[in-house]
Amino acid sequence: MILPGATIGILGGGQLGRMMAVAAAQLGYRTIGYAPPGDHVASDLCLDFVESGWDDSGAVAAFAARCDVVTWEFENVPLAAVGAVPEGRIVPHPRALETAQDRLKEKRFIETLGGRPAPYAAVESAADLARAIERIGVPGILKTAREGYDGKGQWRTGSAREAAALQFPGRPCVYERLVDFEAEFSVILVRGGDGEIRFWDSTENRHHHGMLASSVLPASPLIAQQLDEARRTAHMAAEALGYVGVMTLEFFATNEGPVFNEMAPRVHNSGHWTIEGAATSQFENHIRAICGLPLGSTATRFARVEMRNIIGDEALTAYQLLGDGTEAHLHLYGKREVREGRKMGHVTRVSNAPGTP
Ligand code: AMP
């Protein structure tokens, strides 16, 4: 067990790290962050923040030497950087990163567990792309196998003509069938070092241009019906990876059952509602899990919860949400640069009264 007072290292410097640092501080831990130079909003909250490249394994090793345990908030931390942290000091185990960093590996892994991704094909050349489109059909989506997020590195084909015009982007990709879904949801779990697994309730997630816009509880009845099957897949994934900490699996709820979309070996945007909406937040339970402390209850505390992301210049007037007459909890990430499409914060509304939050 890593007791309060110890130092937790966080690889990555975004808002997930920032909220993790808050949860760690509440439990009496110190945090040190590490990321390549940039606008790191976690650095405001960490005791110290090291800015150096992911390829600087000496700097990563020196950072790790100052920490009792190291975790990540960013799933694209290169494996070489993670490898510079002494074995056993990094939690969860890096095999989860290895699987989740590659969409193909991730889909194959889920299939071995009996889960069902959308029909897909690996694409490594223009010829592969043509074959994949022929086999899988349209509408479809071409996604870079690595380093895509929030809808980036994705190209949609609605018609055969669009598909024919699609260029191979020159990096390994996955072409997958566009799923005709009723709703989207995520399964977020925490697994402790002793193997105990707890799930939070699954929100219904709405996306805009491939990026999460809002998460709402309760989710639709269709999601509720598909939860057992989706949780079984997530449970098996966590077990197979010997995972410790919080992990997220995203699904499409379809009339044929849950279709796996992707896995994030970390706390997740669709779990931000847990800060006010659940007995223990995803951030606190992640810290508890990686330190070997008992896990907290994941029970939902309200009849209705809604988390909405604050994007781009919405942040400039977001303080006004505090006076809108609802129980609005505003989180601003302190990003210095406002950019279109950038996640700047979120607002969570909780309520036990009838109607919407
Ligand atoms: P991803 O980065 O793969 O999570 O994709 C971001 C969002 O794009 C998803 O949450 C969906 O809203 C949409 N999307 C991605 N893949 C598919 C698919 N195969 N079928 C339908 N929608 C998709």
CATH topology of domain 119-177: Dna Ligase; domain 1 (3.30.1490)
In the chain, alpha helices (H): 15-26, 57-65, 79-82, 95-100, 103-112, 126-136, 160-165, 221-240, 274-277, 282-291
- pLDDT per position as a tens digit, 66-77: 999 999 999 999
Probe target for ligand 1 pocket from 136, 141, 269, with the most ligand atoms within 8 Å of CB: 141
Q: What is the pTM of this model?
A: 0.96
Asked whether 261 lines ligand 1 (CB < 6 A), one says yes
CA of 141 to the centre of ligand 1 (A): 8
Q: Closest by alpha carbon to 259, among 118, 77, 51, 79?
A: 118
Q: Which class is domain 183-351?
A: alpha beta
The answer to whether residue 230 scores a pLDDT higher than 90 is yes
- pLDDT per position as a tens digit, 119-139: 999 999 989 999 999 999 999
- pLDDT per position as a tens digit, 135-149: 999 999 999 999 876
Structure tokens at 167: 């260029």
Residue whose CA lies nearest to ligand 1 atom number 7: 210
The answer to whether residue 28 scores a pLDDT higher than 70 is yes
In 197-321, alpha helices (H): 221-240, 274-277, 282-291
The answer to whether residue 354 scores a pLDDT higher than 80 is no
Asked whether 178 lines ligand 1 (CB < 6 A), one says yes
Structure tokens at 177: 């069938």
Asked whether 142 lines ligand 1 (CB < 6 A), one says no
Quick one: pLDDT at residue 149? 67
Asked whether 276 lines ligand 1 (CB < 6 A), one says no
The answer to whether residue 150 scores a pLDDT higher than 80 is no
Residue whose CA lies nearest to ligand 1 atom number 1: 151
CA of 253 to the centre of ligand 1 (A): 12
**Distance (Å, whole) CA 192 – CA 248:** 15
Q: Which class is domain 7-90?
A: alpha beta
Domain residue ranges of the chain, discontinuous segments joined by +: 7-90, 119-177, 183-351
